[in-house]
Amino acid sequence: AQKVTQAQTEISVVEKEDVTLDCVYETRDTTYYLFWYKQPPSGELVFLIRRNSFDEQNEISGRYSWNFQKSTSSFNFTITASQVVDSAVYFCALSQGNQGGKLIFGQGTELSVKP
Amino acid sequence: DSGVTQTPKHLITATGQRVTLRCSPRSGDLSVYWYQQSLDQGLQFLIQYYNGEERAKGNILERFSAQQFPDLHSELNLSSLELGDSALYFCASSVDAGQAGELFFGEGSRLTVL
């Protein structure tokens, strides 16, 4: 069975601190996709990144970076120099290769960045 | 703005009633997905339609049904509502059947069942 675990329910940091959100997944598929979504207080889900199971290269986008390690089944998300606007719930998700739109979400990590 | 439009944004109704949630996908997207976000179940996939046909099914209750119309908009019908159906219902769309993987979510329809 597929499963996504985000062990950190809530994280609170002070602005400008770096913060890493953990994501561990379980799947028996060899082809799968991993995602991160952001849900700000307004409620919508904002796509951040998608990686396929064959691409373990780390990715950096501005202050955001992602570390994908198949050996530990983890896909962690780091925000560098956090800002108040980063306050949101962040979801990690997994999908099978042939059902790319059927996402299995983790429980989410609520990040609070204080000024 | 993701380009996915959901109506209504908020809906309050009573137990036993029936409601319809509407979704217009992004222009050009052929797939529509419905997700439910509740406090106890988290974010759960309900169902996917691709170009009018049901493509994948998740944990959707028998009291719930959906369809995708020729103009590609979709409706999620929830009937015999129970208190536990109170949730945020998201619609998402993608250009293909899901292989590309990037889903664009609407702002959600918040349903409150009293």
Q: What is the pLDDT along chain B (114 residues), one digit of tens a residue?
A: 889 999 999 999 999 999 999 999 999 999 999 999 998 889 999 999 999 999 999 989 999 999 999 999 999 999 999 999 999 999 999 988 776 667 889 999 999 999
pLDDT over 90 for what percent of chain A? 70
Distance from CA of B84 to the nearest CA of A (A): 18
DSSP letters of B78-97? Answer: E-S--GGG-EEEEEEEESSS
> Are A45 and B45 inside 8 Å of each other by CB?
no
In total, the C-beta contacts within 8 angstroms joining chain A to chain B are: 69
Q: What is the pLDDT of residues A21-52, one digit of tens each?
A: 999 999 998 889 999 999 999 888 999 998 88
Peptide bond into B70 cis (omega under 30): no
Give the DSSP H/E element, type plus range, for residue A58.
Answer: none
Mutate to test the interface with A, among B5, B30, B43 (most CBs of A within 10 A): B43
- The pLDDT of residue A57 is 84
- The pLDDT of residue A52 is 87
Output the average pLDDT for chain A. 93
B60–chain A Cβ distance below 8 A for any pair: no
Average pLDDT value for residue range A69-81: 96
> Are A103 and B103 inside 8 Å of each other by CB?
yes
- Residue whose C-alpha is closest to residue B76's, from B89, B59, B85: B89
CA B105: distance to chain centroid? 10
For A5, counting Cβ atoms within 10 Å of its Cβ (0-12 exposed, 13-18 middle, 19+ buried), the class is middle
Of B42, B94, B108, the CB nearest to A101: B94
- The pLDDT of residue B59 is 85
- The pLDDT of residue A68 is 95
Average pLDDT value for residue range A3-21: 97
Asked if A50 contacts A35 with a C-beta cutoff of 8 angstroms, the reply is yes
pLDDT over 70 for what percent of chain A? 97
Cβ contacts (< 8 Å) between A106 and chain B: which residues?
Answer: 42
> Are B98 and A43 inside 8 Å of each other by CB?
no
Q: Is the pLDDT of residue A100 over 70?
A: no
Asked if A106 contacts A90 with a C-beta cutoff of 8 angstroms, the reply is no
